[in-house]
Structure 1
Amino acid sequence: MEEVTNKYIAIKAKVDGIPKESDFEVKTEQFSLSVKPGSNDIIIKNLYVSIDPYQINRMKTASASQKTSNYAVAIAPGEVIDAYGVGKVVASGNPQFEKGDYVVGMISWGEYSISQGLILSKLDPMGLPLSYHVGVLGFSGLTAYAGFFEVCKPKKGEKVFVSAASGSVGNLVGQYAKSLGCYVVGCAGSTKKVELLKETLGFDEAFNYKEETDLHSTLERYFPEGIDIYFDNVGAEMLDAAVSNMNLYGRIAVCGVISEYLDAGKRAAPDMLSVIYKRINIRGFLAGDYMNLFPEFVSTTVDHIQTGKIHVLEDVSSGIESIPSAFLGLFSGSNVGKKIVKLSDE
């Protein structure tokens, strides 16, 4: 039975403050590249893995999200961290997968994974880079697509505000909105990102939130006629400012609260009187709620990529050892677009 040394990333202990590289370690294990007779196991060589901020909630001690949802199941120190990604089947006892198949789904922050195929699908690359299936054609893309089109129910010409607009989800929301004919404003954390939003992605306007002292008046300046749709990736003060500038029957899709992940004290409740009197719909959601849309989402998005309506933003690091710094970069705003780590060549 052939074995290899598998490297993977683990946490050393629960991470309850701001994460540091010293909170992580590269561990090794002997890993079999064969499946036992009668086994349903699938052995996967990991090629690309997604780096997502929600993972920090799984690393905390008894986080509220772990108590209320199976989406952020706790990670124990020393154990393999599962994550979305793309790989190639090395061996399979599962009749649905064969050696050489590309697969997409839950793999790990490691060089190899073992799966029973529960959250795994065969992948047809469709002539596109494999990394696209981790980001723009993966859960980040589905989050943007479903959140915008299904949760927000947009109409042509509506006024749309997107926070964290240069991130993996926000940049796509803005591009979907522009493809529909909406007026789109995004915010980001640097002058370079603001220029990217306007000059490369086609946002009508964008601003650096770090340079603004009063977000309420900032949004009033960019939306003198009010906001119809707000796609919220950050929560806290930004959500409060958006609510105060929403129009009647405004819709807010909430898919992330990154400003609160490391500092629960930053939580800010929106003006609930405005929510009531303006009849604002605020809805949290997960991409997994909309798996029925996946074929439509992929078809539409591939068409947009091929026709130039969507510019793919990826931030790719290489090597298993780069995962901790790639993860930490999400909280300092160093990434642009979807953060991915390439683990191996095919």
Structure 2
Amino acid sequence: MKKLSWLQKGVYLLNIVFALALAFGMLIPYIPMEISPRLSIFSLGVPALVVVNLLFVLYWLIRFKRQWWLSFLVMLIGYSSVLSLYKFGGTTTVITSSAVKVMTYNVRIFNKYGWIPQDGIKEGILEMVRDEDPDVLCFQEFHRDEEGSFSQYPYRYAEYKGGQTGQVIFSRYPIVEKGSLDFPDSGNNAIYADIQLRDEVVRVYNLHLQSFMINPEKEEISQENSNRIAKRMGAAFAKQKVQADIFEAHRDGSEHPAIICGDLNNTQFSAIYKQIRGEATDTFEEKGQGTGKTYYFKYYPLRIDFIFADASMEVISHKNRYELFSDHFPIISQLKVH
């Protein structure tokens, strides 16, 4: 510090603050949520904190100052979190008949109430599904009126907990068992279908965890409203924890390998993600590229929709599509079931 100018000392103090904030954000998944659900809000800031700490590293390196090690060390310790933010390479498209192709998408009831001011949303989604031609298709926020639009799938299981909207699993392969986890005190839910894939039965989960009911682009930013938003988010995180516990117990009680699809309403830096994923493989981390964002929020990459494959399965490809037909983006993965 003695060899730093006053300006550089000020920058270094800021560096310490942001490095500690990043370290805390990466520790969130390991802190019991029962202590305070609101602490999970910090995990949402990890992408921005990684970028800021990278800028600090570059700042000190350009000036040949050893203070670069602070942010670098924090990111090195949490390298798995840092690497999950952006993937190079990856495999988006593979043509193979030996793998099952899975797609998951929160379709926001096909823009039924005109949230996106354009025509042809439903037609765009239908065309995308025809183009991708998945073997197993999971929808969240699906409207019961649209079941007939997917007649190419001979097998399906739908659960409409909200009356007209809910979740559905479409399949080209026979469904031999199915059910709903029925999350309490929530319009959100998780369903599953045991699908006969050639010689093996695979359990496919379709999850939609508790949402925050917040539009990040339209919420008024003020001290009073920020407190209300934090309270609302804390309550949502608490419900997500209850839902994750129900799911975990159900998954662990199954004898079948599982493919877990859905909208977690939480990022890869959260305790909820860690619990839902368990020992499974995140297909984006295995074969994805770029940020893999799945939620539409300008300038900030939020990845809250996932496909997790059982550890016994091989991830062949992972693909993100970015047509704006919903507030979410779909993800597609090819998996080889051994």
TM-score range, shorter chain: under 0.3
Higher strand share: 1
Higher helix share: 2
What TM-score results when the alignment is normalised by the length of structure 1?
0.23
What TM-score results when the alignment is normalised by the length of structure 2?
0.24
- Structure number with higher relative contact order (C-alpha < 8 Å, ≥ 6 residues apart): 2
